[in-house]
């Protein structure tokens, strides 16, 4: 079953991308030219430039936040909120429909 990610830009613009299960929300965005998710380090938890706010209904579908990810969100360029994640750590599973909102700045 196909998975989908809905990306919402800070200005409200939305785009749905079909995602390959096993890919991250970050790489799906980068490969498809979604602005505002940089993913400079390619998903190795080194840069915190793939910060997103995950729609509450979807948060439970992902692995819990690690200590490094948690610490890095503290220093992300846009202040974190309760539903902040680094999207390189959000691995899409088959059939998932995910909504994420992109913060104003990543650098």
What whole-number distance in Å separates Cα of residue 3 and Cα of residue 92? 7
Residue 6 is inside which H or E element, if any?
strand 3-8
What whole-number distance in Å separates Cα of residue 58 and Cα of residue 65? 14
Nearer to other proteins, 4 or 55 (CB): 4
Contacts to other proteins from residues 17-76, by CB under 8 A: 23, 30-33, 35, 38, 40-42, 44-48, 68, 71-72, 74-76
Residue 52 is inside which H or E element, if any?
strand 51-54
Contacts to other proteins from residues 68-107, by CB under 8 A: 68, 71-72, 74-77, 105, 107
* Residue count, binding to other proteins (CB under 8 A): 24
Helix, strand, or coil here: 31?
A: helix
The footprint of other proteins (CB under 8 A) covers 23, 30-33, 35, 38, 40-42, 44-48, 68, 71-72, 74-77, 105, 107
């Amino acid at each position: 079953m196909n998975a989908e990610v809905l990306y919402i830009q800070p200005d409200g613009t939305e785009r749905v991308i079909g995602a390959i299960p096993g890919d991250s929300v970050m790489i799906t965005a980068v490969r498809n030219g979604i602005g505002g998710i940089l993913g400079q380090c390619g998903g190795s938890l080194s840069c915190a430039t793939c910060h997103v706010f995950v729609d509450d209904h979807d948060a439970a579908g992902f692995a819990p936040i690690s200590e490094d990810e948690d610490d890095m969100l503290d220093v992300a360029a846009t202040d974190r909120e309760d539903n902040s994640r680094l999207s390189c750590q959000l691995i899409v599973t088959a059939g998932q429909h995910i909504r994420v909102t992109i913060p104003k700045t990543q650098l």
